[in-house]
Amino acid sequence: MTRPFGNNVLQQFLQRLGPGRSSPRKLRLYACARLRCSSKLIRAQASLRAVQLGERLADGQHDPAELRNFRSLWQDVWLALHPDAAVAALQVTEERPWRDLPGGLHLLTEVFGPEQIPDVLPSWRTPAVLSLACAAYDERAPLSGALRRDRLLVLADALLDVGCADAVIQGHLRRKRKHVAGCWCLDRILERC
């Protein structure tokens, strides 16, 4: 069971969104995205591998043996693999050095979405759209973990072709800011929580 948050930025943000918007998967992916903001940390190969493993852990695609091997790493990297995703998310939001990194609010919105998330109609989830969404998610930049903008633009066009002219979805996919694993829009399209 996920531990409740204290009185902090993350809790306030999630309360504004309403119940049911956070999950252990979303919390872990937010923590991983926040950890990736530290270029010093991610320059170390073991650190990068730990964050990548954290992302795979969130998506249920991790190797348990590899996870056991990383348990001996220092605390900062271990946050990506912390058994309690809520603790990891809270620490990267509130504690140094993570709280001082830029982009925190952007990452909260990127992972958990705006206050009003539009519905994705079943008719928009064509095989072509789902294939493009999976490719956009799976083919992230290795160091930054960012989703490739060119893939998102192609996905936005494919959604237009099947009738999705929703301004929030189209605007999000076409926006020039960094997109990360756990992107609310891709998760809605792929029906991931």
What is the pLDDT at residue 5?
A: 45
Q: Which of 63, 147, 74, 81 is closest to 111 using CA atoms?
A: 147
Tell whether 68 and 126 lie within a shared domain: no
Could you read off the pLDDT tens digit of each residue along the chain, which spans 193 residues?
Answer: 344 444 477 778 888 887 777 888 988 888 888 887 765 655 566 677 778 888 888 888 877 777 666 665 544 556 667 777 777 777 777 766 666 666 677 788 888 888 888 999 999 999 999 999 999 999 988 777 889 999 999 999 999 999 999 999 999 999 998 899 889 999 999 998 7
Tell whether 33 and 65 lie within a shared domain: yes
Taking CB atoms within 8 Å and a gap of at least 24, the contacts of 3-11 are: 3/84, 3/86, 3/87, 4/86, 5/86, 5/90, 6/90, 8/90, 8/93, 8/94, 9/93, 9/94, 9/104, 10/89, 10/90, 10/93, 10/94, 10/108
Q: Answer yes or no: is 117 within a domain.
A: no
Quote the domain boundaries for residue 149: 122-190
Tell whether 91 and 36 lie within a shared domain: yes
Q: Answer yes or no: is 127 within a domain.
A: yes
